[in-house]
Structure 1
């Protein structure tokens, strides 16, 4: 295992060598997260499945990434990305430009894949290369806590394993989760460690779909299951989705051309106009029909038949015009596609539904914004409110003498913060400094006041 660098996704990640066939001449493959290999910022990528895509020249794997073995590191370029998706999971299979045998000669050993996951309470460990004070591979021990469906930003992942191992941070993506026999059963892909204390389900703060739905668990990390991935490799050690027993999503589905924002209000705060799902499905693979259903996360399961509409013609779709729900929380639009008006085995598998999600947020920000300060009372102060998405996405401010400035005055005029430090002249000090935060969807919070200098 070691550092995977140069990907189009999140930059530095962790990856590990696998050898399901046990053949020295087999091409070497590493497993990691899909968000480490591809650019997923585009909304249309949330339900994409990539197969046999070209690896960039910068994508490289560095084995022996230990603190005391810098001189013995083994660096290998990637040859191709055989598989990558963030649809329902977060997994990539990367073929390296070498063989299992060539790596073994240089002291690089593959990790075995577990046939099943340990039960909740089982002792496990995570080995990764987080970007902390000193970067190197490190092991953290903890316990398996069971599986949960989770959502984050635009993504919905089924059956992710939860743990509370330490030292999971940027760079830990792709880290193997090992059982007591040191076999891999899951791959770390997200965490709430280091995230802001609000904005559940937003980017960098995953939340669980179950009860209570849409709530982030502090100190929790999640890992996608890989216990069935061995079946996707043949006796020759090559990866292929069509191998018998391979349970990965082959991507048979309609394209999702447009999405709602990952966080929304039921209506526009300025005009009062109703906001809609804005979903448009695009034709692919001769799939001319679809079924759909809507519901709140935790109350609807996209992998169950109950609640789906009758088959509809793709060219008569009107999903974009459906009004967003009023209730706060994560809401799902589930879709399945097929070639005929009769659902059968040719339809998109129920186990791999297309899931579009948005989080309805009508609550104004309530956390006190942090301020960055520079200078002093003699030379003047430079003040900047600190952004923290999604709750602190914009600010208004004003200031004046402490005795005559009322931050709650409804008639007072506010100035918008333009991301330029606000200068308070020595003649302005001391001052009562008022800040009013607005969140990512336009909910305006109550004012907060600060006495400067403090």
Structure 2
């Protein structure tokens, strides 16, 4: 047999061997899905354990995520073990659930109409499984931003349909732990993102304040991910729930609703593109024989009193630093109306959220009937906090869990500084060449803008001549109003149908004022100066509008 024939025979044997044995087994790293998730047939693929991550749907909309949890005290669920899902309390609002009303505080066993949709994978669109709510078993808007919902079915029935619960981790792992953050974004299916866990931090997103929540910067999970689970990459156990994020939020709005900030000492800090998550390992102590037992001493939900603030008497998120005349006029004072479900309450005024968890310097126990707290701020720039806890008697000794769950009201006193002009410039080349400039008025400390524009060679942004204030006067038909201020048209004073108007900030669409600037053959200079609430000007911003 010559060498060529031997080589051909060897190649044929190798080919037959590969055909007989089939493709090599899936590598271990391929069993951990990242990005949009498909349900895999591979028995070791992690997606097989994520069938119990569902989309929360109310009467009106469905942009939250919830997770079925494993509450069994034995390997097999009994026929009567309830099915519980957990999510962020902030998902249970009238925008999602219509007639459902919630005034704040802690709530137990409340009726609610809603549905959970399981099996939300990219390749199971025709096999989504839905189950109705039975009740909201527990809900709080305090330090524990959490809702526990009982479904109108049992855990064993769900598992028989292939819907698997997530096991809750026994303890919260340290910062640096590799995690998976999962959620169901708006108009999409289950996504999984991989990153590392950050250290615990106190967070504010008006009017909510959360103590010792975790952070992560897993990407690509935005609207719809609220309530989604955070899992250990290695054990697949449930560590925490997403309760807030600031993806896409404006840093100028830090600490406001949907723009959570971090509270460090007496200062609010902005960490962009961050999820904040509520640890849930304590829930392992809150189920007995598969049923929620929030009233047992071993559970951190035990004796958590309900403290709710009357919405009409909620202090603002921000006040501004005082000038000399304002200081002479006296401090900012707010009469905060609270509803407490215990006979008594105690409170503390501080500049640091950590002090709310320290039992010292709280007031004496006071009657909770028709409770009003006089919240008077000093003139210090930074955070001002009112911590409130309910107590059963004058001798009641609170636990660390109760102080951790204190109701915290924050007001930030902001130093007024010159504002950087904020505008966007678009270019259009249609029937004529023009620019459209859009000035952003959604800036909290902004009072107004002044602008000017002219030939590039002769327009100096640093000189005061030629500036005009925005909002500018615009020509409009008289019947296009109503307008707050109307002025006779200077070029057509006898034409009753044409007027000049000057809009207020509140009348602007999305808070932007737009102006068309026609382009010619030569470049233009556009100058913008912003003024803060003290009427202090910023440095001029110069934009060059080149010929189109």
TM-score range, shorter chain: 0.7 to 0.9
| Contact 1:47–1:354, Cα closer than 8 Å, also in 2 | no
Q: Could you list the runs of 5+ residues in structure 2 that have no partner in the other structure?
A: 1-51, 472-504
Q: Could you say what the CA RMSD is over the residues aligned between the two structures, in angstroms?
A: 3.8
Q: Deviations over 1:166-197 (max 9, x none)?
A: 22312111111112211102111223443334
Q: Which residue of 2 aligns with 1:151?
A: 204
Match runs of 1:134-145 below 5 Å: 135-145=188-198
Q: Are positions 1:200 and 2:254 aligned together?
A: yes
Give the distance between the partners of 1:357 and 1:443, measured in 2 at CA.
27
CA 283–200 in structure 1, closer or farther in 2 if over 3 Å, else same: closer
The equivalent residue for 1:15 is 66
Partner of 1:360: 413
Which residue of 445, 449, 458 corresponds with 1:396? 449
C-alpha spacing 1:63/1:269, structure 2 compared with 1 (3 Å): farther
Gaps of 5+ in 1: none
CA radius of gyration, larger in: 2
Is residue 2–residue 61 contact of structure 1 (8 Å, CA) maintained in 2? no
Residue 127 of structure 1, aligned match among 169, 178, 182: 182
How far 1:305 sits from its partner (Å)? 1.7
Return the match for 1:309 from 363, 378, 393.
363
Partner of 1:50: 107
Q: Relative to structure 2, which stretch is displaced further, 267-276 or 117-126?
A: 267-276
Whether contact under 8 Å (2:308, 2:338) holds in the other structure is yes
The 1:446/1:292 distance shift into structure 2, 3 A limit, reads same
1:25 counterpart residue number: 80
Distance 1:249 1:443 in 2: 52
Partner of 2:318 in structure 1?
263
Structure 1 contact 142–165 (Cα < 8 Å) conserved: yes
Q: Any conservation in 2 of the 1:11–1:36 contact (CA below 8 Å)?
A: no
1 CA distance for matches of 2:198 and 2:148?
A: 26
Residue 35 of structure 1 corresponds to which residue in structure 2? 90
| 2:508 aligned with 1:419 | yes
Contact 1:436 1:444 survives alignment (8 Å): no
Q: Point out the more displaced range, 92-101 or 106-115.
A: 92-101
> Any conservation in 2 of the 1:325–1:360 contact (CA below 8 Å)?
no
User: Of 344, 352, 358, which residue of structure 1 is paired with 2:396?
Assistant: 344
Match of 1:115 in 2: 170
Deviation at 1:331, TM superposition (A): 1.9
TM-score of the pair, normalised by structure 1: 0.82
- Partners of 2:138 and 2:225 lie apart in 1 by 20
User: Which residues in structure 2 correspond to 1:402-441 (within 5 Å)?
Assistant: 402=455, 403=458, 406=461, 409=464, 413-416=468-471, 418-419=507-508, 422-424=514-516, 426=518, 432-437=525-530
Paired positions, count: 441
